[in-house]
Chain A
């Protein structure tokens, strides 16, 4: 027996009113796998859908991803401070890998921060990735799209390289990939196409001097040879920090260049497909004719459909025809 799940529609209404304190309850709900909770999550998503809002959610969803140990957490705490100084509210959804042996996880970098606990315009939630290797926690997509209704910036932070940025790209408006100087593998991944081209590439530890400058130059050259105009920004998170404002501008500039509606429509379709796959597995995908076929079919659906409606449509399509 578990406590009765929160009322999804009511939570959605609170978010629409800009009530940032609804965030913990939203996360508790979307993370819960019980049947009642899932029904309420659907109600929540409906309440924050573009149809209900009359527009796309105004919040800016930023993906921040990169290999472990490159300094993502300290960078994030600097970024959060910069956004706050700008008067923007920020939610951070940190997705941590979980132990495959026990199912448990150790969370808690909480953006590596020296935090001001009295600032309610910053919300940080760490979530274990769950059983899926390197994947987004299933709840994270729902949380990101819901919180984007109330928060100015929603950060989805993931760990990894080569795979994770692709998944984050489905959720985020703008993806920043964070690397440290001397990570030659990222260069190789980019050139060979193992890794998608990020919207913004961040090179940490610029305080190291020449090594960092060289890394930045190499990555810029690689991006140019791939015909990409993505920005490469050098940052340092140790005192005194450097490059943070430049990074904020680069992220904003990418978002400004984006066709937001088209991007979010695609993101909802990918969200629905991910939820469908989580529920019905490979057999479900085969019934749709495979992942590529499913994506193609989804792209012909009505742009106004929300995630729940899209998933129901997929489920219907996967039913064996009489």
Chain B
């Protein structure tokens, strides 16, 4: 039992971990900030506003040492949510263990290390797919031989559901992803090790509120995994073929409106992954009830930990064998999901496997998400408190002045920059240079394993940004597909009114209403931006959407060159207070005038007021779920700026 935690710098997170361990938490789950996850140092342009924001900033071995101070690593099980830079963070962890005189072979834990879902959903990739798969294969090959108790990869279907995946898609893409990884590892380890490799692969799945079907999904995954081991990789040992998974329950279905109801949702979702023993999660991670509002406080995390403890220690959940054994209904559900998943896996295989099918899978997910949203808007799908039973008493839980969320001290970024400078000036720079050029050499030679050179660079004092930059220079940079191009248009009736307004405004403007949807900074959560882009297109606008990770000046230059009439910015990482004003001043600098800017994201009202004061025309939060209403707002806004009339002719 553990909660996903980490914020600000290594020292503050270390204090938080020790507090949680005292309360009975049995392992660590480290959250890193976006610069660490995407391979930028705290002083890089793209890191602005993100340092210490969604997790802890770890720039070098010294930070890692501080993070784990006083926590005995030979007894600790540490899960690290790290992907593009997983090899590097594992290297830092091994070096921190050396400092505690703990052998690498004694270490236990998990690196998430799953890149495909970063392209498909989460957005913290650094390198192109080919080289990224090699880094994954290298860490697996290395840990199987040197850190045998380590789970080198956690294949995540969690984020696919967050991006809109149906149960069938979640199963099929996770399995296809696993196949791509295993095929890559097979080329790098002796054949006799493939059984242990297979056995070290674990999954990280999602559990939604439709908890019966979700339980069936897990049984289906266990079945397919066992089959894959037997048929494709000839895994003889039954234990190696066991489907091991951890869970974080669904965030997509949590609501900002009446957010206290999320506690019930989370409890039901927890049942999906614990009810039947044959498909029970090995690790359970529950989000805090107020995640849709921002970063949870210690008390919110405690509340979520207590739910797990009640399930485990008060209920009789763990006292029985598999309670679905012999259930005709459950078996039927499982068979249906397996059949659908096999078909979809066949489709991915026909495209050349998961790496080549990234574009296809991304488009399919955007389309599923669009369909889900349409059902919520039309009322086909009930979300209590949001599109039904909306009336509510004022909540005492969110009444306190800070808006009910933990706010990261803005000083952290400046402190981390200064600390990094000190670190750089105190290390042996010749040793760092030598370690990095060795890293580059190994990167160019596909037959070598990246880990030894990575560990050596960590020991020499290289930084997260330096390790990543060295690899970027060898591997090249990459922009993942946005998936929006192929999404099907929504049925026209619901949109016809706003479409007419767009047409009239476009006529009045002389050219079609043009809308730039931008994601500044490192935040990779693009689901919202994608759905806005698709809806605006369906409403008849020309939409410029370039995907994630743009600097304020890139957004401003696109706005100027493209001649857009309105700009929408989406930020979910909580860095709006720094990034939005930067975009506004970049726009002024680029000579973009009279173009209203609207902002969407997880933005507390106090911040929203400040943004409006700074010149933002409108702020949208998760409670503004009616996208058509948002489109009409945007039309009105542009019309007002241009003195145009969009009313229907009498």
Is A117 in contact with B551, judged by CB distance below 8 angstroms? yes
A103 → chain B, closest Cβ, in Å? 5
A238 x B542 contact (CB < 8 A): no
Contact count band on B? 35 or more
Bound form: Cα–Cα A147–B508 in Å: 26
Q: A2-B509, A118-B553, A126-B562 are in contact. Are A106 and B644 (CB under 8 A)?
A: no
Contacts of B534 in A (CB 8 A): 106
Q: Decide: A128 and B561 in contact? CB cutoff 8 A.
A: no
Q: Kindly list chain B residues whose C-beta atoms are within 8 Å of the C-beta of A239.
A: 128, 474-476
B510 touches A32 (CB 8 A): yes
Q: Does B232 belong to the interface (CB within 8 Å)?
A: no
Residues of B109-134 whose CB lies within 8 A of A: 128, 130
A31 in complex: contacting residue of B476, B482, B511, B537, CB < 8 Å: B511
**A106 engages B533 (CB within 8 Å):** yes
The answer to whether B508 and A108 have CB atoms under 8 Å apart is: no
Nearest chain B CB to A20's CB is how many angstroms away?
Answer: 11
Query: What residue of chain A has the Cβ atom nearest to residue B488's Cβ?
Result: A101
| A108 pairs with B545, CB closer than 8 A | yes
Q: State the Cβ distance, A36 to closest chain B Cβ, in Å.
A: 8
Contact of A108 among B128, B477, B510, B543 (CB under 8 A): B543
Any chain B CB within 8 A of the CB of A99? yes
User: Hey, which chain A residues are within 8 Å of B543, CB to CB?
Assistant: 104-108
Give residues of chain B (491-541) contacting chain A, Cβ–Cβ below 8 Å. 492, 495, 499, 502-503, 508-512, 533-534, 536-541
Interface residues on A, range: 35 or more
Q: Which of chain B's residues have a CB closer than 8 A to the CB of A113?
A: 479
Q: Which of B547-562 contact A (CB under 8 A)?
A: 547, 551, 553-554, 556-558, 560-562
**Shortest Cβ gap from B334 to chain A (Å):** 36
Which residues of chain B come closer than 8 Å to A108, judged between CB atoms? 482, 543-547
Residues of A within 8 A of B128 (CB): 238-239
- B558's closest neighbor in chain A, by CB? A110
A104 engages B541 (CB within 8 Å): yes
Contact B499 A102 (CB under 8 A): yes
The segment from A21-29, A82-90, A295-303, A306-314 that touches chain B is A21-29
- Decide: B553 and A117 in contact? CB cutoff 8 A: yes
Looking at A24, A27, A33, A106, which has the most chain B CB atoms within 10 Å of its CB?
Answer: A106
Distance of A115 Cα from B562 Cα, bound (Å): 15
Contact assessment for A123 and B561 in the assembled complex, using a CB-CB cutoff below 8 Å: yes
Q: Given contacts A2-B509, A112-B479, A239-B475, is CB(A107)–CB(B542) below 8 Å?
A: yes
- A104 with B539: CB separation less than 8 A: yes
A104-B538 contact in complex given A1-B644, A239-B128, C-beta closer than 8 Å: yes
A2 CA to B638 CA, complexed, in Å: 11
Q: Tell me the minimal C-beta distance from B456 to chain A in angstroms.
A: 24
The verdict on A287 contacting chain B, using a C-beta distance below 8 Å, is no
For B513, give the chain A residue with the smallest CB separation: A104
Is B538 within 8 A of A99, CB to CB?
A: yes
Q: Which residues of B contact A34 (CB under 8 A)?
A: 510
In the bound complex, residues from chain A placing their C-beta under 8 Å from that of B475 are: 239
Is B612 on the interface with A (CB-CB < 8 A)? no
Q: Is the CB of B540 within 8 A of A103?
A: yes
Partner of B476, one of A69, A110, A238: A238
Instruction: Say yes or no for B452: interface residue by CB 8 A criterion.
Output: no
Please report the C-alpha to C-alpha distance between residue A23 and residue B563 in the assembled complex, in whole angstroms.
10
**Closest beta carbon of chain A to B595's beta carbon, Å:** 12
Contacts of B359 in A (CB 8 A): 69
Please indicate the chain A residues that have their CB under 8 angstroms from the CB of B502 in the complex: 103-104
Taking CB atoms, residues of chain B closer than 8 Å to A118 are: 553
**A14 contacts the other chain (Cβ, under 8 Å)?**
no
Q: Does A262 contact B (CB under 8 A)?
A: no
The DSSP consensus for interface residues of chain A is: loop
Interface check A243, CB cutoff 8 A? no
Q: Pick the contact of B508 from A1, A27, A103, A112 — CB < 8 Å? A: A1
A254 at the interface (CB under 8 A from B): no
Check: A234 CB closer than 8 A to any chain B CB: no
Chain A residues closer than 8 Å to B540, beta-carbon distance: 102-104
Whether a CB of chain B sits under 8 angstroms from the CB of A124 is: yes
A209 to chain B, nearest CB (A): 14
Q: Give the distance in Å from the alpha carbon of A190 to the alpha carbon of B474 in the complex.
A: 38
Q: Which residue of A lies closest to B129 (CB)?
A: A238
Contact present for A115 and B554 (CB under 8 Å): yes
Residues of B within 8 A of A256 (CB): none
B477 near A114 with CB under 8 A, answer: yes
User: Looking at the complex, which one of A37, A110, A240 makes contact with B546 (CB distance below 8 Å)?
Assistant: A110
Smallest beta-carbon distance B252→chain A, Å:
23
**Most chain A beta-carbon neighbours within 10 Å: one of B511, B540, B545:** B511
Q: CA of A3 to CA of B638 in the docked complex: distance in angstroms? A: 12
A125 within 8 A of B: yes
A106 and B499 form a contact (CB under 8 A): no
- Which residues in B have their C-beta under 8 angstroms from that of A105? 537, 542-543
Does A5 belong to the interface (CB within 8 Å)? yes
Mark interface residues in A226-242 (1 if CB within 8 Å of B CB, else 0): 00000000000011100
Q: Mark B427-457, 1 if CB is under 8 A from A, else 0.
A: 0000000000000000000000000000000
Cβ of B537: which chain A residues have Cβ within 8 Å of it?
A: 99, 102, 104-106
Q: In the complex, what distance in Å separates the CA atom of A73 from the CA atom of B485? A: 14
Point out the residues of chain A lying under 8 angstroms from B533, CB to CB. 106
* 8 Å CB interface, A93-147 against B: 98-99, 101-110, 112-115, 117-118, 123-126, 128
Closest Cβ neighbor of A30 among chain B residues: B511
Q: Flag whether B571 is at the interface (Cβ < 8 A).
A: no
Residue in B474, B479, B485 whose beta carbon sits within 8 Å of that of A106 in the complex: B485
Is B642 among interface residues, defined by CB-CB distance under 8 A?
A: yes
* Minimum Cβ distance to chain B for residue A278 (Å): 15
Does B615 touch A at the CB level, under 8 Å?
A: no
Query: Of A5, A99, A117, which one neighbours B554 at CB under 8 angstroms?
Result: A117
Distance (whole angstroms) from the CB of B649 to the closest CB of chain A: 15
CA distance A5 to B509 in the complex (A): 10
A93 to chain B, nearest CB (A): 11
Q: How far does the alpha carbon of A112 sit from the alpha carbon of B551 in the complex, in Å?
A: 15
- Are B485 and A103 touching (Cβ within 8 A)? no
Among B128, B130, B489, B544, the most chain A Cβ lie within 10 Å of the Cβ of B544
Closest residue of chain B to A239 (Cβ to Cβ) is B476
B107 at the interface (CB under 8 A from A): no
With CB as the reference atom, state the residue of chain B lying closest to A109: B546
- A125 and B485 contact, CB distance less than 8 A: no
B561 with A125: CB separation less than 8 A: yes
Complex partner residue of B510 from A23, A33, A238, CB under 8 angstroms: A33
**Please, how many angstroms separate the alpha-carbon atoms of A102 and B130 in the complex?**
37
Chain A residues whose CB sits within 8 angstroms of the CB of B562 once the complex forms: 24, 107, 125-126
Q: Tell me if B510 and A102 are in contact (CB < 8 A).
A: no
A121, B542: Cα distance in complex, Å: 25
Among B544, B561, B643, chain A packs the most CB atoms within 10 A around the CB of B561
Take A102-B539, A123-B561 as given contacts and tell me if A5 and B510 are in contact as well, using a CB distance cutoff of 8 Å: yes
Q: Considering only CB atoms, which chain A residue lies closest to B495 in the complex?
A: A102
Measured in the bound complex, the distance between the Cα atoms of B567 and A176 in whole Å is 34
Q: How far is the CB of A270 from chain B (nearest CB, A)?
A: 23
Q: Which residue of B lies closest to A21 (CB)?
A: B591
Shortest Cβ gap from A212 to chain B (Å): 15
Q: How far does the Cβ of A124 sit from chain B's closest Cβ, in whole Å?
A: 6
B634 at the interface (CB under 8 A from A): no
Separation in Å of the B184 CB from the closest CB of chain A?
17
Which 9 A-B pairs give the minimum distances between C-beta atoms?
A239-B476, A32-B510, A34-B510, A117-B553, A104-B537, A117-B557, A104-B540, A117-B554, A28-B563
Q: List 16 A-B contacts (CB under 8 A).
A: A2-B509, A24-B561, A31-B510, A32-B509, A32-B511, A34-B510, A99-B538, A101-B489, A103-B499, A103-B512, A103-B540, A104-B512, A104-B540, A105-B542, A106-B484, A108-B543
Q: Taking beta carbons and an 8 Å cutoff, which residues of B are in contact with A?
A: 128, 130, 359, 474-477, 479, 482, 484-485, 489, 492, 495, 499, 502-503, 508-512, 533-534, 536-547, 551, 553-554, 556-558, 560-563, 591, 642-645
Q: A32-B510, A128-B542 are in contact. List 5 more A-B contacts (CB 8 A).
A: A5-B510, A103-B540, A104-B543, A109-B546, A126-B562
